[in-house]
């Protein structure tokens, strides 16, 4: 990467000279030697101008068609489910919140493959959760396609904490808190931390749309769960 086209060409020339001097063979058929801001690598578009990853339009169409066919067929082979999951997993780096919208499909595949002894040719009826995941991809893939290399600076920051008796949160000097119900008090502390974080988001940004929010938690399990979009 360079700030100018001429700079890129000079860097490319130097790089090629070093590689060839070391005995490397350059695969010219797979090489892009013309300076560009958008390049496809391993099926993903890398945009150095917008600093983002995205799926090519043809791949977006393929994934949406795959999801639509699975929904319309009703019963589909587990091999087709595995193929859909493979596409979802591969697309995660390019789609915000994608990790939160394939786990029901994943759970369906795991449970059904165990039930039939790993025979991927068996056709199964999709669970409600699996269908919900497929519908999310169909309705959101076009709009959500494109993920920044680096997280944006947050619009707001929220600090949340929880104990066995209740939860609390702070945002811009404003505090909020609340006790647990009898049923909630029986939950594991990890679940309480996540529930407290949810209540904090609802309190400070419940009606907001399109905001970038950073939430601070002191529970490593909860942090991992949030960062991965689920467990």
Structural domains in the chain, CATH included, are 5-53 (no CATH), 57-148 (no CATH), 156-227 (3.10.20)
Chain centroid to CA 110: how far? Answer: 20
* Cβ atoms of 68 and 126 closer than 8 Å: no
What b/e readout covers 125-159, taking b as 16+ CB neighbours within 10 angstroms?
Answer: ebeeebbebbebbbeebeebbebeeeeeeeeeebe
pLDDT at 61: 96
pLDDT at 41: 87
pLDDT at 31: 84
Distance CA 125, CA 75 (A): 4
pLDDT at 224: 93
Distance CA 9, CA 4 (A): 9
pLDDT at 54: 96
Spans in the chain with pLDDT lower than 50: none
Q: Please compute, for residue 37, the number of CA atoms within 13 A of its CA located in the half-sphere on the CB side.
A: 8
CA angle 124, 125, 127 (to 5 degrees): 120
Phi-psi bin for 122: left (phi > 0), alpha (psi -120 to 50), beta? beta
User: Considering only CA atoms, which of 224, 170, 152, 172 is closest in space to residue 194?
Assistant: 224
pLDDT at 1: 67
pTM over 0.95: no
pLDDT at 211: 87
pLDDT at 193: 97
pLDDT at 156: 94
């Amino acid at each position: 990467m360079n700030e100018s086209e001429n700079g890129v060409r000079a860097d490319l020339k130097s790089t090629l000279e070093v590689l060839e001097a070391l005995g490397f063979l350059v695969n010219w058929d797979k090489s892009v030697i013309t300076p560009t801001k958008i390049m496809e690598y391993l099926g993903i578009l890398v945009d150095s101008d917008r600093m983002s990853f995205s799926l090519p339009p043809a791949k977006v169409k393929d994934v949406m068609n795959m999801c639509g066919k699975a929904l319309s067929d009703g019963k589909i082979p587990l091999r087709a489910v595995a193929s859909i999951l493979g596409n979802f997993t591969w697309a995660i780096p390019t789609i915000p919140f994608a990790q939160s919208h394939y786990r029901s499909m994943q759970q369906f595949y795991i449970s059904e493959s165990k039930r039939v002894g790993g025979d991927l040719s068996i056709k199964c009826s999709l669970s409600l959760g699996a269908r919900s995941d497929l519908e999310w991809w169909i309705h959101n893939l076009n709009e959500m396609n494109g993920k920044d290399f680096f997280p944006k600076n947050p619009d707001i920051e929220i600090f949340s904490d929880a104990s066995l008796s209740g939860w609390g949160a702070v945002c811009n000097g404003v505090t909020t808190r609340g006790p647990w119900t009898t049923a909630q008090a029986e939950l594991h502390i990890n679940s309480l931390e996540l529930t407290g974080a949810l209540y904090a988001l609802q309190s400070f940004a419940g009606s907001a749309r399109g905001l970038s929010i950073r939430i601070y938690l002191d529970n490593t399990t909860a942090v991992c769960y949030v960062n991965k979009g689920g467990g």
